[in-house]
Structure 1
Amino acid sequence: MNIPEKFDSIRPFEPEELPEVYDRLLQNGQFCQVVKYFYPQVPLEMVARKMKGCKSSLEFQLAFCYDIIKNLLEKASLGCDFNSSVLDVTRRFTFISNHRDIVLDSAILDVLLFDAGFKTTCEIAIGDNLLSLPWVKDLVRVNKSFIVERDLPMREMLMASRRLSEYMHFVIGEKNDNVWIAQREGRAKDSNDRTQEAVLKMMTMGGTGSLADRLVQLHLVPLSISYEFDPCDYLKAKEFQQRRDIVGWKKGPQDDLVSMQTGIMGFKGHIHYHAAPCIDDFLRSLDPDLPKNDFYRVVAEHIDQEIHRNYRLYPVNYLAMDLLAANHEHAAYYSEADKAQFEQYLAAQMAKIDLENKDEAFLRERMLTMYANPAINHLAAQ
């Protein structure tokens, strides 16, 4: 396929580039350690041979990533299911979802799409802030990721956003592949999931016609991701206190790596993915004379409504709401055993927070809020 050169620095690798990238990865000590972790019984030469036999990124995903994610879900979850009943598997979509886990949100979706009968997975939007290690950047581009450039001067930022948008349109329109993108930059630390209008504005920098036409060309599908437990909840709570107490506190690259590792390996309980109908018809129904700002607001609200409506709630979500409000309003949705278990879980997660002036009450409130917000939003969307 003839891919415009302007996308070279952000797109996934093409088949002809893979042999050289495989060699680069196999010469990297850290990458080889990761391989050893996932394949403790398999000699590196055998893994190398299998890698070199993968002639495309999709083949690489099916040869390696598919089984790794399946095994991971077996160990670190109580099962994962996907309601994709409204999707036509012969079409291509841009999945726009709430964002819980740096790595797994899109990785699990790839597995679920394939299991649902799609003949391809997703190209994944990933921020360059997570790619400080060259081998990680290589690996994600082998794994069908394209790069979202961040922290650029204003003029460069505009150019980068336009290129990103044009690339997404190219993936859907020309490459005939799916796209996954989070509804906002970074994860919603308090699980109050809201679509950033800036993400929609970026999407309309590519394509042709009216703003609605440009979004229709991407075939947006709001996707709800519900994890029963968030292994990073205590890290997020800790971050809230650091931001509160330390002027100008910023995460370091090490923090993202710890979050990635904790999110991948940590226990997630039940996991549910739910695809809402593609919003093409909704976009076509909008008043063509809607002012620009109103257009983005209305579309963001519609996506949020769909994501919130399709959350799967667990006893912990109702419990967190009641514990925050100090009442028993939703007691029909959980048992005393659920409550005792959740209190035990919270205590264990809180104990992992290593801060000098640990504010227990504040940290507990932050953790409860993370579990309550999906329920508050779901009930509002009903």
Structure 2
Amino acid sequence: MKIPSEFDPIRPFEPEELPEAFERLLADDTFRRVMSYVLPEIPADAVAAKMRMCHTNLDFQKAFCYGFLDNLLKAASDGCDMDASRIDTGKRYTFVSNHRDIVLDSALLDKMLIDSGFTTTCEIAIGDNLLAAPWIKDLVRVNKSFIVKRGAGIKEMLVNSRQLSEYMHFVISRKNDNIWIAQREGRAKDSDDRTQQSILKMMAMGGEGSVIERLRQLHIVPLAISYEYDPCDYLKAREFQLKRDVEGWKKTKADDVLSMQTGITGRKGRIHYHCAPCIDEWLDTLDPDMPKGELFASVAEHMDREIHAGYRLYPGNYIAADLSRGDRTFADRYTEEDKKSFEKYIAGRMALIDLPVKDEPFLHERLLTMYANPAINHEAAVR
């Protein structure tokens, strides 16, 4: 298939481009160190030979990523599963999910799609702010990622958004692949997951026909991702205080790298992915003459309800909600032993926060809120 050249700056590598990309990666000292850490039992020559045998991006994912993720889940989680019963594994979708972990949200989805019977994984939307080095950019494009350009002026942003949208429509309609994109730019640090209308507006810039028809052409599936424990929770709490206390504070690339490393290697407990029904049929119930502002608001609200309803909740979520509000609304969902264990966990996370002057009550409240919001939003969605 010939891919329009306008997509060249953002698309994943095509199979014929992989050999050159592999050689660049294998020649990079940092990449070789990463591979020796990820695959310590495999000699470098064997890694190189295995990589050169991969003829497609999916080959690479199955040869390297699937096994790595399987081992990672065994070491750093208590299991991961996905409920895909409401979708057809023979079709292709745009998965729009809440965003918990910079790397693993989409990476684990790839593994779960294979485990659920899909014959392909998904193309992954990744912000260019995370591409801290040339070898990382090469690696993500080998791994079926397409690049979301950040930080442009208004005119350039509109051009970039249209290009991104048109590429997503091309992936679904012509490449016959799945897509993953977060429901908002960046992670919801307080776990109050809300779909940004700007993401939906971007999606509707490509395709043909009305706004409803354009969204329908992407076959959007709301995807709820639930982690029992967020390895980056203490880093997120620290960021809240820094943003509050330091005027103009912004994360650096080093902060992003630390979050990626911590998210990958840290303790996660149980993990669950839940696919809501594709929204195509629901979109058909909307009034096509609805003002665009109301339409995007309605779609965002529907996405949020589906994601919130799809959460899998754990004792810590209910305990945090009760502690945050000072009541016992969810007391029947956990034991006193659960509560003691969770309070000990939060105390341990507090101890990890490295700040010159720690606002202990504020940081404690932020940590509780991260775990409470999924329970609060879920209860509101399923009423």
Check whether TM > 0.5: yes
Hey, what does 2:314 align to over in structure 1? 314
Q: CA deviation at 1:41?
A: 2.0
Runs of 5+ in structure 2 lacking a partner? none
Partner-residue secondary structure (3-state), 1:95: strand
Show the 5 A alignment for 1:213-362: 213-362=213-362
Secondary structure of 2:193's match?
A: coil
Aligned length in residues? 382
| Whole-Å separation in 2 of the counterparts to 1:256 and 1:63 | 27
Residue 89 of structure 1 corresponds to 89
Return the alpha-carbon distance in structure 1 between the equivalents of residues 15 and 177 of structure 2.
15
Please tell me the residue identity of whatever aligns with 2:366.
R
Structure 1 residues 96-245: aligned runs within 5 Å: 96-245=96-245
Aligned to 2:34: 34
Question: What secondary structure, in the 3-state scheme, does the structure 2 residue paired with 1:274 have?
Answer: strand
Shift of 1:156: 1.0
CA distance in 2, matches of 1:267, 1:102: 15
Instruction: Report the secondary structure of 1:124's partner residue.
Output: strand
Q: Deviations over 1:87-140 (max 9, x none)?
A: 111100000000000000000000000111100000000000000211001000
TM-score (norm 1): 0.99
> Following the alignment from structure 2 to structure 1, what is the Cα–Cα distance between the partners of residues 81 and 45?
35
Displacement of 1:49:
0.4
1:123 corresponds to which letter in structure 2? Answer: E
Q: Which residue of 2 aligns with 1:47?
A: 47
Cα displacement string for residues 310-336 of structure 1 (whole angstroms, at most 9, x for unaligned residues): 101110000001111122221101111
- Rounded to whole Å, the distance in 1 between the matches of 2:158 and 2:127 is 16
Code of the aligned partner of 2:308: H
Structure-2 separation of matches of 1:240 and 1:204: 33
Query: SS in structure 1 opposite 2:2?
Result: coil
1:142 counterpart letter in structure 2: V
> Counterpart of 1:245 in structure 2: which amino acid?
D
Q: Deviations over 1:252-284 (max 9, x none)?
A: 100000000000000000000000000001111
Distance 2:40 2:299 in 1: 48
**Aligned sequence identity (%):** 64
Distance 2:23 2:277 in 1: 42
Provide the C-alpha distance between the structure 2 equivalents of 1:18 and 1:298, rounded to a whole number of angstroms. Answer: 42
CA distance in 2, matches of 1:103, 1:378: 25
The Cα shift of 1:339 comes to 0.7
How far apart are residue 153 of structure 1 and its match?
1.4
Question: How far apart, CA to CA, are the structure 1 residues paired with 2:26 and 2:306?
Answer: 43
